[in-house]
Amino acid sequence: MKNRKIFYVVVLCLFVSLKQQVFSQSFKDKELNISLNELKLISAIDLIKTKYVDTVNENKLVETAIIEMLKGLDPHSSYLTAEEVKEMNEPLHGNFEGIGVSFNILNDTIFVINAIPGGPSEKLGILSGDKIIEIDQKNVAGIGITNKDVFSKLRGEKGTKVTVSIKRRNEKNLIDFTIIRDKIPIFSLDASYMINKETGYIKLNRFSETTGTEFDSAIFKLKSQHMQNLILDLTGNGGGYLDKAVYLANQFLEKGKMIVYTKGVHSEGVHSPNHAYISAGEGSFQSGKLVVLIDESSASASEILAGAIQDWDRGTIIGRRSFGKGLVQQQLELPDGSMLKLTIARYYTPTGRLIQKSYKEGVDEYEKDLANRYKHGELSNKDSIHFSDSLKYFTLVKKRLVYGGGGIMPDIFVALDTADNTEYFSSIIRKGTLNKFVLNYIDTHREELKRNYPVFSSFDKNFSIDNQILDDLVAFAKKEGISENKDQFQKSKKQIVNLLKAYIARDVWDTNEFFEIMNQDNPVILKALETLNQ
């Protein structure tokens, strides 16, 4: 009887108010007004427990009901068990050992949200949007896998191996990656350096607890090097904490400027989702020229920051249309330690543009959005993007035309560069061949590299990938089962040379130096520099 009472209270908590106090320790002391529909649900579950032909698992019954209810709301509301909540919070503090991806489970499939920069998965070429179908040759799709299951399979002691089979959009067959687990650092800032005498560059991969501190340190360092302009790179940044996006927007905007506002139906009480965030005017970079880089993987907090900069004409947004994730989730703890990540509001930019893209066609179509953008040519041709007149907005200072409808459309479009991609290039990346070759090369030449290039600037200026290194790579790839294709190699040669040098720089120094090499031929960076010069 006692267990049944607890069960009733838990179910009631899901259906009464969305107010935080319902889920607090004192929820049992509150007077709960129960509707007919809520009683109907309780009665149905109780009848299943007491009348069904077989014994049912009460916990599973309740959790299944919660998951199915949330599935019908929106793509981002979700349920986490107490164990999943604990595991979700672990990476927020310090390091962990694993393959280095953040993921989510949608429609019983593991989706890669982000390959953590510098981690083993990112080094092998695992991408955002990849679906993990097999782990160590065992199917993990469509079997009811949980976050706990994924953690247990992918995390492990540094130096151990795991093989994952990836389904990638526009690829017919599964792609196998053999990953060596490693220590995974949790940093939000990948790179910070002076790209020329006047322009600084900062690359953020997420908005985490340490983002504000990391950003402040980077700005201080760049200013000490006489930075006048800044390129803030948010490409591939899937978001994170709202307050960190607000903090960064504060660094660029004058006092009294709206950064973002949220709007939801339930507006009463201290936990009202209807809220406007206003700049404090104490920022560290309020007057210099600013460029913000975004792409189709820039989401949530990245879009909040980019939208505020664009709406106030504070800087220029360059790249491709952002992801379009503008739903506000609040983490609501249930009595047993489990959690609802429940959508309570929507994000709007200062001009009133809704950041969230439509999900009216259902979760399946929602998940296909990025693939559809590629299919319809949006990533390669600006003219393939069409907005209705009802989505027109005008910036708040210069009255420039901008568009709503989901995501942030950049001021300057730069197409996705796929001209040099070949099957040979893809093979040496996804099989880890290029990375393994670099590790072997560095192991053999480490002392020589340190002796000849004591500082990175000397390496950047004087080291080059010669024909001997390229011949050795081709021979190494052959041993790995990748047949030589001279035509494809020549077509992808520039990419291969850049990556080899960048990987060597990264493994000898750090990710900062990796980006210094790669950005030298990055078309989005080149467009940013051109724009600043104009």
* Domains, the chain, with CATH or none: 2-71 (no CATH), 95-184 (2.30.42.10), 189-328+343-413 (3.90.226.10), 423-526 (no CATH)
Q: Of all helices (H) and strands (E), which one includes residue 288?
A: none
Please name which of 276, 280, 306 lies closest in space to residue 395, comparing C-alpha atoms. 306
Which residue in 325, 357, 431, 527 is the catalytic one? 325
The one-letter code for the residue type at 497 is V
Judging by DSSP bridges, how do beta strands 78-80 and 339-348 pair with one another?
antiparallel
Residue 199: which residues within 8 A CB-CB, separation 6 or more?
227, 228, 229, 230, 231, 529, 532
Q: How far apart are CA 60 and CA 504, in angstroms?
A: 50
Do 336 and 10 form a contact (C-beta atoms < 8 A)?
yes
- Is 322 annotated as catalytic? no
pLDDT of residue 7: 47
Q: How far apart are CA 233 and CA 229, in angstroms?
A: 13
- Is 161 annotated as catalytic? no
- Is 54 annotated as catalytic? no
Q: How far apart are CA 490 and CA 485, in angstroms?
A: 9
Do 162 and 76 form a contact (C-beta atoms < 8 A)?
no
Q: Of all helices (H) and strands (E), which one includes residue 216?
A: helix 211-224
Please name which of 344, 313, 351 lies closest in space to residue 328, comparing C-alpha atoms. 344
Q: Three-class SS string for 6-23?
A: HHHHHHHHHHCCCCHHHH
Q: How far apart are CA 302 and CA 310, in angstroms?
A: 12
**CA gyration radius for the chain?**
25
Q: How far apart are CA 303 and CA 305, in angstroms?
A: 5
The DSSP output letter for 116 is: P
User: Cβ-count burial of 24 within 10 angstroms (0-12 exposed, 13-18 middle, 19+ buried)?
Assistant: middle
Q: Is 239 left (phi over 0), alpha (psi -120 to 50) or beta?
A: left
User: Cβ-count burial of 533 within 10 angstroms (0-12 exposed, 13-18 middle, 19+ buried)?
Assistant: exposed
Please name which of 440, 427, 439, 437 lies closest in space to residue 481, comparing C-alpha atoms. 427
Q: How far apart are CA 1 and CA 6, in angstroms?
A: 9
Q: How far is CA 486 from CA 18, 47, 427, 470, 494, in A?
A: 62, 69, 14, 12, 14
Q: How far is CA 3 from CA 20, 29, 53, 60, 456, in A?
A: 24, 18, 21, 14, 64
Do 380 and 300 form a contact (C-beta atoms < 8 A)?
no
The one-letter code for the residue type at 488 is Q
Tokens at residue 65, please? 């009901």
Question: pLDDT tens digits, residue range 104-159?
Answer: 776 688 878 768 777 899 888 888 778 899 999 999 999 988 888 898 899 888 89
Judging by DSSP bridges, how do beta strands 161-167 and 229-233 pair with one another?
unpaired
Tokens at residue 210, please? 């340490």
The one-letter code for the residue type at 397 is V
Q: Three-class SS string for 140-173?
A: CCCCCCCHHHHHHHHCCCCCCEEEEEEECCCCCC
Do 423 and 170 form a contact (C-beta atoms < 8 A)?
no
Please name which of 417, 374, 446, 411 lies closest in space to residue 523, comparing C-alpha atoms. 417
Residue with tokens 């790209």: 195
Do 243 and 211 form a contact (C-beta atoms < 8 A)?
no
Residue 196: which residues within 8 A CB-CB, separation 6 or more?
529
CA-CA-CA-CA torsion for 335, 341, 343, 347, nearest 10 degrees?
130
Q: How far apart are CA 405 and CA 390, in angstroms?
A: 9
Query: How many residues are given for the chain?
Result: 534
Let me know the angle formed at the C-alpha of 171 by 415 and 434, rounded to the nearest 5 degrees. Answer: 80
SS3 call for 210: coil
Which residue in 311, 369, 411, 507 is the catalytic one? 311
Do 300 and 325 form a contact (C-beta atoms < 8 A)?
yes
User: Cβ-count burial of 46 within 10 angstroms (0-12 exposed, 13-18 middle, 19+ buried)?
Assistant: middle
pLDDT below 70 — which residues of the chain?
1-33, 86-95, 106-107, 114, 185, 267-273
Which residue in 165, 279, 300, 302 is the catalytic one? 300
Task: Measure CA of the first residue to CA of the last residue in the chain; give whole Å.
Answer: 75
